[in-house]
Amino acid sequence: MTFMAMITCLPHMLLLANPDEWLVRLKQTIVHWLPGPWQFVISSLITIAVLIAVFGALFAVATLIERKGLGRIQNRPGPNRVGPYGVLQPMADAVKMLIKEDVVPRAADRVVHFLAPLVLVAPVMLAFSVIPYGQGLVPINLDAGVLFFFAVGAASELAVFMAGWSGHNKYSLLGAMRAIAQMISYEIPLVLSTVTVVMMVGSLSLVQIVAAQGGYWWGVIPRWNIFAPWGLAGFVVFMIAAIAESNRSPFDLPEGESEIIAGFLTEYSGFKYAVFFMGEYFGMFAISGLAITLFLGGWHAPLPYLGWVPSFLWFFGKLFIFLFVFIWLRGTLPRLRMDQLMNYAWKCLLPLALINIGVAVIWRFTAGWPGPLRWLVCALLIVLAFVWLEKTWMKSRELKPRTYHYAS
């Protein structure tokens, strides 16, 4: 029955000039046919299905790209056995994950062990529901979108803990603790950088933020936040925090293979490990999506005359760039030590984010100044702060004896 509805509304869509509209109109036509109460349920089910399909595929592609990318970085071809140029590798992985035996340690806390992957993935899924993929293509337009995103984002720490603890394994618990400490530490700079954007835009809803980034300076430079001094600094802080948040590359200490086997994932195998893996990638996609909406103008085209391209393509293009950056970082940067990681978060990122808010405030109140002067002053401030922090950061890099605070 749904297939029929799709087909009938197709010509509608073609008529519209804008492909975004096309998708929305499609959904509405499907839902339109349904009796009263069920309409809402079905429409939300449709959005959910679309999201899962899109991101599931993206996940598979991402694993492939990652493995191929890493290979290329490490001057090796990467998986090319399954399908042409290894394209079908993800399918193979998926089948492997499914049929592999799911080992659960005897002393493990079965319920918590089982729930952990779920609690990790579910919130990330919820996070997708609020990101505007295209013009009008936002699953739920909450006016407290950012708050919702972080609220559900916070649940991931709990899941990591449950995973680490339920296995009743010292190393997994230690890994979980490290992960939680890292995620909490980096959540604050993350939130503070988003606060700068929210402060400048004046609204928590992501749609508003993207809308605020429409238009172009002098017709050429898009009004993306990144091109504002505070925007750039905010983007840098946000990206570092985002990487740490999703336990990727330089900050992938918790499941650093060389140290604590797989961190809180050691007790998992089979399908649960796959779900964890999926959750991680989804987390990466969500956080990049947020970055895009906040700093890179969401689904806005970089150039005015490129407006005709459907907005969601721009969104997913930027997403791919982010994905590439992640993989690139993973291939090149060495892993950070735990105390460096913590110090960096608290002593470098957090002050930078705070100063960034300060600069944003100045930026806001110097609206009357001529463009370049205003840009220059703020940029100067940020550079000064960055240099000063760098200096203190360099100073503290001498290798002081490691002090254990809590593992007494």
Tell me which residues touch another protein (CB under 8 A).
109, 111-112, 115, 142-144, 147-148, 150-155, 157-158, 161-162, 165, 173, 177, 180, 184, 203-205, 405-406, 408
Strands (E), 269-327: none
Residue 222 has phi, psi (to 5 degrees) of -65, 145
Least Cβ distance, residue 383 to another protein (angstroms) = 29
Q: Which is nearer to another protein, 177 or 352 (CB)?
A: 177
Kindly report the number of other CB atoms within 10 A of residue 326's CB atom.
Answer: 25
Least Cβ distance, residue 9 to another protein (angstroms) = 30
Q: Which is nearer to another protein, 144 or 373 (CB)?
A: 144
Q: Which is nearer to another protein, 3 or 365 (CB)?
A: 365
Token reading at 16: 């519209």
How far apart are alpha carbons 346 and 408 in whole angstroms?
22
> Which residues lie below 8 Å from residue 326, measured CB to CB, with a gap of 6+?
66, 243, 248, 249, 284, 288
Q: Are 109 and 168 in contact (CB under 8 A)?
A: yes
User: How many whole angstroms from its chain centre is CA 380?
Assistant: 29
Q: Which is nearer to another protein, 143 or 257 (CB)?
A: 143
Least Cβ distance, residue 66 to another protein (angstroms) = 28
How far apart are alpha carbons 93 and 60 in whole angstroms?
9
Could you give the C-alpha distances from 294 to 57, 171, 201, 309, in angstroms and in order?
24, 37, 10, 20
The 10 Å CB-count burial string (b at 16+, else e) for 205-227 is bbbbbbbbbbebeeeeebebbbb
Least Cβ distance, residue 43 to another protein (angstroms) = 17
Unique residue bearing structure tokens 């592999």: 100
> Which residues lie below 8 Å from residue 310, measured CB to CB, with a gap of 6+?
18, 19, 20, 134
Least Cβ distance, residue 156 to another protein (angstroms) = 9
Q: Which is nearer to another protein, 30 or 286 (CB)?
A: 286
Q: Which is nearer to another protein, 109 or 259 (CB)?
A: 109
Q: Which is nearer to another protein, 148 or 326 (CB)?
A: 148
User: What are the residue ranges of helices labelled H in 202-270?
Assistant: 206-212, 229-245, 257-260
Least Cβ distance, residue 304 to another protein (angstroms) = 30
Q: Which is nearer to another protein, 102 or 109 (CB)?
A: 109
Least Cβ distance, residue 277 to another protein (angstroms) = 23
Q: Which is nearer to another protein, 143 or 390 (CB)?
A: 143
Torsion (CA) 178, 179, 181, 185 in degrees, nearest 10? 140
Least Cβ distance, residue 114 to another protein (angstroms) = 12
Closest CA to 137 of 380, 316, 330: 316
Least Cβ distance, residue 164 to another protein (angstroms) = 10
